[in-house]
Amino acid sequence: MLPGRRGRLRLPGTGPRPGPARPADRPDRPDPANLARPPEPCPSRRSAGRPHRGDRGLARAGCGRGRHGGRRRRPRPRRGPQAVVGAGLQLRPRRPRHRQGHRREPGGLDPLPRWCRLVPPHRHLLRAGGPVPERTVNRHRGQRDQRGGGRRDDLGFLTIWLLGLCLLLLVLGGVSLDLWRVFSERQALAGLADSASLAGAAGLDLDAARRGLVRLDPADAAGRARASIAAQADKGSLVLSSVNIVVRQDRSEVTVSADGQVHLILLRLLLGDRPVSLQVSSTAVARSS
């Protein structure tokens, strides 16, 4: 039978029933021949010149049970680059429908067709007892952690923190090393002044000693003090700036004052090439034995 022609089935013995005619307000019963003919195709609600995208792939158009009628094409499985469910799936929100008319909302996205909403890897995925299709969770680097309350990633902060820690350790090491070095050099300078003052206190005046008086000879005391300083060749990194030897007016004691400088090592990067100045003094009293 051609699809464009309608068939009609005639049953034997069919025709108008004998008997009284029905009233005008009660129409006749439908003809059995009309009940036996195939169903007519339903008129489409859309224009005939614009096919709907959901009508593609239909075998025949008719009054089926689907949304657009007829049989629908079986969903084709889509596999991503890693053959994982949802690897190539892109979900888009459905367009909100208007009550009076399905008008397009400004900025809304077109809804996906019904046959594209589920992308199973094989046809038996949605059977009873099978796994539920889920999208793979792949969080990109630098993306905010929603469970952490908007906590940002700390990439690169560890490098800056380590650089600051290295600078801090350099400063602490320089302070500890150079400060200990300054203390040791000051002790050496103080020992140098003590030995010079003791040597100067041994320069007595012989004429006063014959009379029973203990007096110092200023020239002899200064010479002995300078000779003691010159004899101490091992001064380390200490640099003597000046040495001052003073004998008291009553010639009973001698005072040796020494100034020195110490150059830094690690703290030179922060303070520059400025040495640390040291000053010590030592006093010795002349006494009779």
How confident is the model over 224-257, as pLDDT tens digits?
A: 999 998 888 666 667 788 888 999 888 889 999 9
Of the ranges 5-14, 172-181, 236-245, which is most confident? 172-181
Q: What is the pTM of this model?
A: 0.43
Q: Does the pLDDT at position 83 exceed 60?
A: no
What's the pLDDT band for 141 if we cut at 50, 70, 90?
Answer: low
| 267 to 52, 54, 171, 232: CA distances (angstroms) | 82, 81, 7, 29
- Measured N-to-C along each axis, helices 218-231 and 157-201 cross at an angle, to the nearest 10 degrees, of 140
User: What gap in Å lies between CA 134 and CA 24, rounded to an integer?
Assistant: 65
Q: Given this model, what pLDDT does residue 21 score?
A: 56
